[in-house]
Structure 1
């Protein structure tokens, strides 16, 4: 689960994966009681067919809420992606990556948990995304990408 960094329309908002397969959006007036949550993102592409989840809290940018995701595809391969939600109504999906942003390459597949890239969140510096992530539960590294390039990769 990941809280949005500010209230939306006066309510707290949170992303989660209550059904172990999709990303849902829930709201609360007091942080103690939460709505059931509605599914807003379902697995769609081969690299996320098994399940999709968020990686940390959404990041607010001028275009909307940038949400980093992890998808689980065939053979339990974990890859990282991203999507964009509407700033005022995050139940509206504005765009998402059709291909992974980050995935383990041939030299990074071996480790404690093979074929896995995973992140717990990212930072934004000006318009550059700084994405720390782990590979095969064996080491960590990071990637950087201009937000404009990331948004261009979404449909």
Structure 2
């Protein structure tokens, strides 16, 4: 994850946990029920959702949606 306040200085942090092995993670812009939330393609095919108290630690991906059409894999 890359953070900045001035677009001159940047802080780079790595995601950790079993759910962060795939780099295709999209962070929701606001917390959901007090937790950070991301969607990801942990297996490079299906869509998963994860919730965490720690913005850098992700585990327990829950299957959200499987592709129906071939173009949904892109």
Q: TM-score, normalised by structure 1?
A: 0.30
Instruction: Give, in whole Å, the separation in 2 of the partners of 1:28 and 1:13.
Output: 7
Q: Which has the higher strand share?
A: 1
Choose from 49, 56, 61 the match for 1:37. Answer: 61
Higher RCO, 1 vs 2 (CA within 8 Å, ≥6 residues apart)? 2
Alignment of 1:15-26 (within 5 A): 15-26=39-50
Q: CA deviation at 1:45?
A: 1.9
Q: Which runs of 4+ in 1 moved over 3 A?
A: none
Q: CA deviation at 1:30?
A: 1.4
Q: CA deviation at 1:20?
A: 0.8
Larger Rg: 1
Q: Give secondary structure in 2 for the equivalent of 1:15.
A: strand
| RMSD across aligned positions (CA) | 1.3
Number of residue equivalences? 50
